[in-house]
Structure 1
Amino acid sequence: MKKERIVSRGLDANLHAALGQVTGGLSPATLATAFLDWWLHMIGSPEKQAELIRLSLEPSIRDGEKDPRFADPAWEAYPYNIMSHSFLAAQNWWDAATTDMHGVDPKHAKIVNFVTRQWLDMISPANFAATNPVVQKRTQEEGGQNLLRGARYWMEDFNRLLAKKPRTSDRYVVGKDLATTPGDVVMQNDLVELIRYRPTTAKVHPEPILIVPAWIMKFYILDLTAQRSLVAYLRDQGFEVFILSWKNPDETDADLSMKDYIDLGIQAAIRRVKELGHPRLHTAGYCLGGTLLSIVAAALARDGDESLASVSLLAAQVDFSEPGELGLFINESQVAFLEDIMATQGYLKADQMAGAFQLLRSNDLIWSRVIRHYLLGERTPDNPLMAWNADATRMPARMHTEYLRRLFLTNDLAKGRFRVDDNAVALSDIRADIYCVATETDHVSPWTSVYRLALLTDTDVTFVLTNGGHNGGILSEPGHKGRHFRFAHKTEGDTHMTAPEWFDTHAARDGSWWPHWAAWLKDHSSHKVETAALNDTLGAAPGDYVFG
């Protein structure tokens, strides 16, 4: 049954919710505090001022610097070369001004650096038709038709923004083009559906694989298309595969907690898999799903439960002491600000989360699209990953608050203070072997942060680093061009390497990491048995919750 919620409508909460619509969910107090700290130390540092005066009189571009925004040869012609070089010099000046400031809180310095980069990215000469030679050439060739199309595209997107409906793809439909691997819903409760995929081999390993996606994404990122489906790949390797499909919460789910996500999510799924005849199982968690899985694995180990044959963590952090740029704005002020926003609606909206992720790669995810869509008049071709990315989800207020406070702010899991069923859990209790995957250019879960798992566990860990980002690196199917990965096995008792040392001492291998993982899973599995028929089903995959 859904819980009734008492909504807070206090003046503070409503004011902060209104401000959040303007700031993209960022706390103005956080920004003001960081800039005040930086400015006070700046006016008290004549040496830094002298350095910046010298840089302003002798502007320079770093040796070998090549910005992809100015890669076209047209930028080397006058006057565009002056514009691009001046911009890069200004960018370097501001970078110098916001780094290496003695006495400034390091986090404040990074916030100031990050925000100034956003402003500079916004005013780049590449973003304006009058100062972009590539756009001017296209305008001459098309007689301005590109700008007319761009204006139409802008109006379409602006109207969608007002209607709070993101641009979605009509070409890719869930259940028809996406999430098409045949399967059955074998469990449903108020929070999750459990999907079991139909085996394609006469025999399967007796230990199935339970996959836990992040609750901020639709599960079919791992069953994207027939060619890019991790679940289908594992199924074809002789594994029975189960996956959780999280419900998309609304205002009536505001009081769902992390305990609910543990109990109604992973724990309930494990019980159901056991009921279907599997006393032991492999588990895999992606992104925040991996973080939650590590908590459950530690709790089961603490209680003497040995039902997990292995634990695989894909782009998942368990130590949030160095979470990358996403962590710059996670402090008491920011969390309190988000709590007030969520108090007025019961959840954090998908676009409020997506905005923060886009800022981390603003050139790739914002301004390059502005140029392509509105100045060049080109629509980005629809693709399955874009369709999935537009199919966003929300996060319930209570759970999101607990996640931010207990993991990001106080780092309770890494410090052995996270409590499950009133008792603390420790990652060092896990005895099942761990397969940990990170991606080189991950802006959500930086690989150096993911790598810290090796410091916190006392079991065998196979660490894999693949090229690509948070999603692209994980969706690295065999045959995907340009893929490579590194790996190493760390046995309990081995000496620790720092992340840079690990990278330098392990050579890259061409190809996808998927076959390597499948081989690892087979080594941790029992001999195959006859595939059993499934008679108990609640409906066909992809289920109902994926459409919420």
Structure 2
Amino acid sequence: MTRLEHAFEENVTEPVPWDRLLHATLGRMTGGISPTALQLAFFDWAGHLGLNPGRQSALQEKALRKALRLAAYSGHCLAGDEEGRCIEPLPNDHRFDAREWERWPFSFIHQAFLLQQQWWHVATTGVPGVDPHHEEVVNFTVRQMLDVLSPSNFLPTNPEVLERTINENGWNLVRGASNWLEDAQREIAGRPQKGGGDYAVGRDLALTPGKVVHRNALMELIQYEPATETVHPEPVLIVPAWIMKYYILDLQPGRSLIEYLVNQGHTVFVVSWKNPGPDDREMGMADYRRLGVNDALDAVNAIVPEQKVHGVGYCLGGTLLTLAAAAMARDGDDRLATLSLLAAQTDFTEPGELDLFIDESQVSFLEDVMWARGYLGRDQMAGAFHLLRSQDLVWSRLVRNYLMGEREEMFDLMAWNADATRLPYRMHSEYLRHLFLHNDLVEGRYDIEGRPVSVGDIDAPIFSVATQKDHIAPWHSVYKIVRLARTDVTFLLTRGGHNAGIVSEPGHPRRHYQMKHFQPLGRTYPAERFERETPREEGSWWLAWQQWLAERSGEPVSPPSIGAPERGYVPYADAPGEYVLMH
């Protein structure tokens, strides 16, 4: 008997290749930003604003008041009165700090810009009925558009540039044109930015002595040579994010976290991820956990047998290590002595400004962009991060290089930042959907090998580090581990950003931190109270963390051998290995 189909039963679920190719082509022009996501956000905002005539009237009244304030301010300036500004820049906005901006007409120009910026902030926020995510997208996009039009970006309206041009008879503009031409040639040729060649991996960076003791299709495992006569018995395994090269933790001597740990008597291993290409498109989160964390842990256990391991994860590597630790605890695997998470998120309900780029429309669009290439390019990742701090990372740099005719001096962290990596299509899609978009780990929906895992299953003590100015893993989000974990948690908040705050060697100027221990299932409190009530300690957080590790380690023993040939782990190359050199 022939089966009868019901209306609406048939459905097309598989993406159409032509559609994906169209989205991939659009993505190259938009930097991976979904045009539909932007349209939805602005339509939501404009539609609700149009249905609120009272709000429109209030905005018109506010615009009139600002115009009158600006006119009064302008009159005082023309009369020579010492009148203060009618509006101050935001605390992190330093575009108008120079005294040249206090002179007419530049005082009028920059005050008009700031008043307009404030008006647009009011206009794009607080409109009744607008989806909160759409509100954030609209506010952020308008802010980016205004930053483009800032008077500090243009020669005729920037008094600092004008004064430099007069004093140097225009040679700053000649140098700026030369800088622009050189940068354009390097971009077209795919060469590193000016000064990048001054820092070579293995020559100037990643110099801590060690050997590659294991390699698979996704990572190399480096074991570092001991620097002390005795060592703590428990080895340290560091899992960095595959969005970055591992040597951010092994910069120049004196600024290397790995070198510091080795000098403090720790046996240190680090995962050096392969820079994936199109052939690695199907590498997923399970592969990174299996070939990264689990395989590295097996190697460390073979080289240093009968000892638990101090697991350390940085950024996305910390999230991955948390997943692995939760699965291990669920299965009764107690090989981890402690778990240290550096600027790593586990709960993504408040992921910061990166959330602006993550919704269903944006993720679907980005998946099609990655599908066409097999990976997310480093140019797309860099573009997203630069947008979050466009004043500092884009416009101020353009003014300095091309209008002032200056060149910022390259330094080790800057050279590392230019040595970016790619992300495989499948892994990044799974990460965005399951963790970032749906928050499956905290919601109890994240399965490993067919069964769910939970942060609450982890019983190893946790040391969590967050940085005050982190735009990638905001410290309020990192702090959530205090409430999620059911084990001893030490939370530390240090000064700096996502990278500079972690690379905070002893002796680094202007560094301080706040640290508090939370007992298992004990009393916790909001992040704001932690920041307000926890005493501030001066200096590097490295010392406090190393002391925490030492207190949870056994009595010193003789250093283990490099590798374990009898177990198949033969040292075969000097650190930093080969994977870190892949471009």
TM-score tier (shorter): over 0.9
Contact 2:210 2:576 in 1 (8 A): yes
CA distance in 1, matches of 2:242, 2:438: 21
Q: Is the contact between residue 212 and residue 572 of structure 2 (CA under 8 Å) also seen in structure 1?
A: yes
Match of 2:281 among 254, 266, 279: 254
| Cα contact 2:89–2:114 (8 A) shared by 1 | no
Are 1:509 and 2:543 an aligned pair?
A: no
Partner of 2:353: 325
The reply to whether residue 369 of structure 1 matches residue 397 of structure 2 is yes
CA contact (8 A) 2:304 2:560 kept: no
Q: Partner residue of 1:46?
A: 53
Instruction: Provide closer, same or farther for how the CA distance between residues 374 and 63 of structure 1 changes in structure 2, counting only shifts above 3 A.
Output: closer
- 2:132 is the alignment partner of 1:132: no
CA contact 1:9–1:343 (8 Å) conserved in 2:
no
- Match of residue 76 from structure 2: none
Q: Does the 8 Å CA contact 2:303/2:561 hold for their aligned counterparts? A: no
Matched-pair contact (CA < 8 Å) for 2:87–2:111: no
Contact in 1 for aligned 2:343/2:465 (Cα 8 Å)? yes
Indicate yes or no: 2:258 matched with 1:197.
no
C-alpha distance after superposition, 1:92-112 (max 9, x if no partner): 000001111111111110100
1:33 to 37, 40, 51: 40
Match of 2:79 in 1: none
Question: How far, CA to CA, are the matches of 2:125 and 2:190 in structure 1?
Answer: 38
> Which residue identity does 2:555 align to in structure 1?
H
**2: CA distance, partners of 1:301 / 1:65:** 46
Please give the secondary structure, in 1, of the residue aligned with 2:492. strand
What is the distance in 2 between the residues matched to 1:141 and 1:347? Answer: 49
Kindly provide the CA deviation profile for residues 447-483 of structure 1, in whole angstroms up to 9, marking residues without a partner as x. Answer: 0000011111100100000010000100111000000
Amino acid of the structure 2 residue aligned with 1:442 = D
- SS of 1:534's equivalent in the other structure is coil
How far apart are 1:62 and its partner, in Å? 4.6
Q: Deviations over 1:301-347 (max 9, x none)?
A: 00101110000000000011110110122111111111111111100
Trace 1:254-293 onto structure 2 (pairs within 5 A).
254-278=281-305, 279-293=307-321
> Does 2:248 align with 1:221?
yes
The 1:65–1:259 alpha-carbon spacing in structure 2 relative to 1, beyond 3 Å, is closer
Match of 1:18 among 16, 20, 25: 25
What are the superposed Cα offsets for residues 145-188 of structure 1, whole Å, 9 maximum, x if unpaired? 11111112112222333344441511111000000110000100
In structure 2, what is the equivalent of residue 494 of structure 1?
522
User: Aligned AA for 1:153?
Assistant: N
Q: Is the 8 A contact 1:9 1:344 kept in 2?
A: no
Q: 1:165 to 1:336 in 2, by over 3 A?
A: farther
Contact 2:223–2:562 (Cα < 8 Å) also in 1 = no
Q: What one-letter code is carried by the residue in structure 2 that aligns with 1:540? A: D
The letter for the 2-side match of 1:526 is G
Shift of 1:416: 1.9
Gaps of 5+ in 2: 1-14, 70-85, 564-569
- The answer as to 2:380 corresponding to 1:352 is yes
Q: Secondary structure at the match of 1:20?
A: helix
Distance in 2, Cα, partners of 1:531 & 1:231: 16
Identity over aligned pairs, percent: 51
Aligned partner letter, 1:32: Q
Partner of 2:138: 112
Once the 2 structures are TM-superposed, how far is the Cα of residue 442 of structure 1 from its aligned partner? 0.2
Aligned residue among 317, 332, 341 for 2:369 = 341
> What is the CA–CA distance in structure 2 between the aligned matches of 1:184 and 1:144, rounded to whole Å?
53
Tell me the residue number matched to 2:480: 452
Q: Is the 8 A contact 2:235 2:304 kept in 1?
A: no
Give the whole-Å Cα distance in 2 for the aligned partners of 1:247 and 1:207.
Answer: 27
Would the alpha carbon gap of residues 63 and 174 (structure 1) be closer, same or farther in structure 2, given more than 3 Å must change? closer
SS at match of 1:413: helix
Bigger drift between 240-249 and 504-513 goes to 504-513
**Structure 1 residue 419: Cα displacement:** 1.1
Give the secondary structure class of the aligned counterpart of 1:449.
helix
Secondary structure of the residue aligned to 1:69 is coil
Matched residue SS, 1:196:
strand
The aligned counterpart of 2:581 is 547
| Matches of 1:364 and 1:239, distance apart in 2 | 38
Asked if the contact 1:299/1:425 (under 8 Å) is kept, the reply is yes
Contact 2:303-2:560 within 8 A present in 1 as well: no
State the alpha-carbon separation in 1 of the partners of residues 433 and 465 from structure 2.
25
| Distance change in 2, residues 1:64/1:401 (3 Å) | closer
Cα distance, 1:399–1:160 mapped onto 2, change above 3 Å: same
Inter-partner Cα distance in structure 1 for 2:308 and 2:182 = 52
Is 1:402–2:430 an aligned residue pair? yes
Aligned to 1:477: 505
Residue 177 of structure 2 corresponds to 151
Cα distance in structure 2, aligned partners of 1:384 and 1:508: 28
* Pairwise CA distance, 1:9: 9.0
Matched with 1:5 is: none
Aligned pairs, how many?
541
Task: Establish whether residue 294 from structure 1 lines up as the match of residue 322 from structure 2.
Answer: yes
Q: Secondary structure at the match of 2:214?
A: strand
Residue equivalent to 2:168: 142
Q: C-alpha separation between the residues in 1 aligned to 2:577 and 2:189?
A: 28
The alpha-carbon deviation at position 24 of structure 1 amounts to 1.1
In structure 2, relative to structure 1, the CA distance for the partners of 1:32 and 1:368 (3 Å cut) is same
Q: Kindly tell me: are residues 432 and 506 of structure 1, through their superposed partners in 2, closer, same or farther at Cα, counting changes over 3 Å?
A: same
Q: Distance in 2 between matches of 1:57 and 1:166?
A: 49
Please name the residue that 2:203 is paired with.
Answer: 176
Contact 1:416 1:427 in 2 (8 A): no
Give the SS at the match of 1:417: coil
Does 2:456 correspond to 1:422?
Answer: no
User: Letter of the aligned partner of 2:352 in structure 1?
Assistant: G
Task: Kindly provide the amino acid, as one letter, of the partner of residue 195 in structure 1.
Answer: I
Alignment of 1:430-469 (within 5 A): 430-469=458-497
1:91 aligned residue: 117
1:506-533 Cα deviation digits (max 9, x unpaired): 1211111000000000011111101133
CA distance in 1, matches of 2:22, 2:184: 25
CA distance, structure 2, for counterparts of residue 534 and residue 483 of structure 1: 35
Q: Equivalents in 2 of 1:22, 1:349: separation in Å? A: 14
Instruction: Give distance in 2, aligned partners of 1:418 and 1:380.
Output: 45
Task: Measure the CA separation in 1 of the matches of 2:294 and 2:139.
Answer: 42
Match of 1:212 in 2: 239
Matched, 1:103 2:137: no
Q: Tell me the residue number matched to 1:520.
A: 548
Match of 2:101 in 1: 75
Q: RMSD over aligned Cα, in angstroms?
A: 1.3
On the 8 A contact 1:183/1:542 being kept in 2, the answer is yes
Q: Which runs of 4+ in 1 moved over 4 A?
A: 60-66
- Unaligned runs of 5+ residues in structure 1 are 1-7
Q: Distance in 1 between matches of 2:393 and 2:403?
A: 16
Instruction: Pick one of 193, 198, 205 that aligns with 1:167.
Output: 193
Q: Is the 8 A contact 1:195 1:244 kept in 2?
A: yes
Q: Is the 8 A contact 2:314 2:344 kept in 1?
A: yes
Return the TM-score normalized by structure 1.
0.97
- How big is the shift at 1:11? 1.9
Secondary structure at the counterpart of residue 414 of structure 1: helix
- Note the alpha carbon deviations across 1:74-119, whole angstroms, 9 max, x for none: 0000000001100000000000011111111111101000001101
Q: Which amino acid aligns with 1:508?
A: R
Q: Could you list the per-position Cα deviations for residues 122-152 of structure 1 after superposition, in whole angstroms to 9, with x for gaps in the alignment?
A: 1100001111010011111111111111112
Q: In the alignment, residue 289 of structure 2 is paired with which amino acid?
A: I
